[in-house]
Amino acid sequence: MSNPTLPTPTLTISKTAARRFMLAHHHLWPPRQLEGKAGILEFIRHVGSIQFDPINMVGRNPDLVLQSRVKDYRPALLDELLYANRQLVDGWDKMASIYALEDWPYFTRHRARGHDDSRRPPAAALDEVLQAVRDRGPVSSLDFKNNAKVDWYWGPTKMARAALESLYATGHIGIHHRVSNRRIFDPIERLLPAELLSAPDPNENEEGYQNWHVLRRVGGLGLAYPGSSEHWLGIVGVKSQARRAALGRLVENGQVIAVSVEDIPNCIFFIRTEDLPTLEAVRHDTHPQLGAAILGPLDNFMWDRGSLRRVFDFDYVWEVYKPKATRKYGYYVLPIIYGDKFAARFDPAFDKKKRVLTITNWWWEDGIQPDEAMKSALMACLDDFVKYLGAKQVHLGGNVKNEKTLQWITEVEIN
C-alpha cells in the first residue's frame, strides 16, 4: 500500500521566519530566559521530553539542553525534580528520556511492549530480581552477586542486570536516584503516586495513541519534517505510512497545520496550531535577538539534522561513535548559535578534578565574521557555561590559543 498523501500547505513562511520560529519554540530566542525548577518544568512540558544520554564530557545531555534555556542552571536542579520532588520521570520516549510525571499513563504502550521483548530473561529470574528489589531496595545491579549471564543487546550481561533492565522497561521498577551514571532502582509503587500507576491509558485505541504521540513529537521538534529519520523514533508501531496518516488526521482536526518554507522546494513541514502565536510573533518582530547559546548534540533542536541543513544551512554529525581517524571535527563537538544562525562549533574538555575547561579546538562557520556584538554575546554565553560547569579556569588548546579571533575567551569571568 502506498503512503497516504500529505496535506497541502496552507501557509508559506520565509526561511528567516522558519529559523526564528524554531529558535523561539525551543526557548533560544533569546536563550537562558527561563528560571529555576519552574523553568525546567515549563520547557520539558512544552517540548514533551528531553533525551537522556550518559556521556559526560561537559555535562550529560539533559544538562546541556537545560543550561542553554535556564538562567543559572545547575544539574542539582534537575536531580531534585527527578529524585526528590518526583515531578519528572526517567523513562522512554524518543530514546531514554525525561518527561513530566503526569505523562506516565500515556506511555502504557511503551511499557507493554517490553513484555514482548525476545531477549527478556526467564520469568523465574524476573520474579526473583523483582522480589529482591522489593525486599532490599533501593539497589543497583552491583548488589546482585549471581554471575550467571545472558545474551543482551550489548553482549553477554549478568542475568540480574538484564532483569533490572527488563523490569525497568515494563514499569515494575523505577530509578530511585543515580550515582554518576549508575542507576539505583526501587519498586515503582514507592516512587510514583498510586492513582497515577492505576490510571488507564488515556488513548483508548491505536489511532488515538498515534495521533497523541505524533502531535507530541511535532511539539518536540517545533517545525517537523515528515520524512523518515531518527527524530521520529520511539513512537510505538508507527512508521512512514502510519505517521503520514496521523499527520493528515491532525491537520483535519485542527491540531497541526502544514506549511511550506520559501527557498526550500518540495518540502512540507508541520507546526502545532497552539504554536502559531509564536510563529506570528517572530514574523512581525523586526528586532533580532542577538544572544548566543551552546547546544548539546542530542538537544531537541538538533534532532532533525536534515532540517538543520534545509533551514539553517548547517551540517552537523555527532562523531562520538566514529573512529578518531575518520572524524572531521572531534569526539564531542558542540554547536553555537548566535542570533538566528549557527556561528561556530567547538571541541571542549573538562577536567572535573581540577575544574579546568579546555577549548581544544574551535571552528567558525562559513561566512561568519565575528564583530564586537557577537564577541560580547559569545562571552556572556561562555561566562554562563563556565558557571554551569563550576570551572575555575579556562584554557585554550594548542590549536586555538594563538587564534586572534578567539582572544576574547581569555576575558571570560571566573568566579
Would you state the pLDDT for residue 118?
Answer: 66
Taking a C-beta distance cutoff of 8 angstroms, is the pair 31, 68 a contact? Answer: yes
Taking a C-beta distance cutoff of 8 angstroms, is the pair 216, 272 a contact? Answer: no
- Cα distances from 107 to residues 235, 244, 263, in angstroms, run 10, 21, 38
User: For the whole prediction, is pTM greater than 0.85?
Assistant: yes
Count helices and strands in the chain by DSSP H and E runs: 13, 17
Taking a C-beta distance cutoff of 8 angstroms, is the pair 91, 326 a contact? Answer: no
Domain ranges of the chain: 117-191, 292-411
DSSP 3-state assignment of 74?
Answer: coil
What CA–CA distance (Å, rounded) separates 73 from 13?
34
pLDDT in 10s for each residue of the chain, 415 residues? 567 889 999 999 999 999 999 999 999 999 999 999 999 999 999 999 999 999 999 999 999 999 999 999 999 999 999 999 999 999 999 999 999 999 999 999 999 987 677 678 888 989 999 999 999 999 999 999 877 777 767 667 788 889 999 999 999 999 999 998 899 999 999 999 999 999 999 999 999 999 999 999 999 999 999 998 899 999 999 999 999 999 999 999 999 999 999 999 999 999 999 999 999 999 998 788 899 999 999 999 999 999 999 999 999 999 999 999 999 999 999 999 999 999 999 999 999 999 999 999 999 999 999 999 999 999 999 999 999 999 999 999 888 888 888 888 877 777 6
Taking a C-beta distance cutoff of 8 angstroms, is the pair 308, 302 a contact? Answer: yes
Would you state the pLDDT for residue 414?
Answer: 74
pLDDT tens digits for 120-171? 888 898 999 999 999 999 999 999 987 777 776 766 778 888 999 999 999 9
Would you state the pLDDT for residue 143?
Answer: 93
- Topology match between the domains 117-191 and 292-411: no
Would you state the pLDDT for residue 121?
Answer: 85
Closest CA to 4 of 202, 210, 204, 308: 210
Pick the CATH number of 117-191 from 3.30.70, 1.20.120, 1.10.8, 1.10.10: 1.10.10
Instruction: List 13's β-bridge partners, or say none.
Output: 261
DSSP 3-state assignment of 76?
Answer: helix
What CA–CA distance (Å, rounded) separates 370 from 379?
12
Transcribe 345-392 into DSSP letters. EEEEEEETTTTEEEEEEEEEPTT----HHHHHHHHHHHHHHHHHHT-S
Identify the residue whose cell numbers are 523465574. Answer: 124
Domain 292-411 of CATH type 3.40.630:
yes
- Percent of the chain beyond pLDDT 70? 97
pLDDT tens digits for 12-49? 999 999 999 999 999 999 999 999 999 999 999 999 99
What CA–CA distance (Å, rounded) separates 403 from 393?
19
Which residues are CB-neighbours of 279 under 8 A, at least 6 positions away?
13, 17, 21, 271
Would you state the pLDDT for residue 154?
Answer: 67
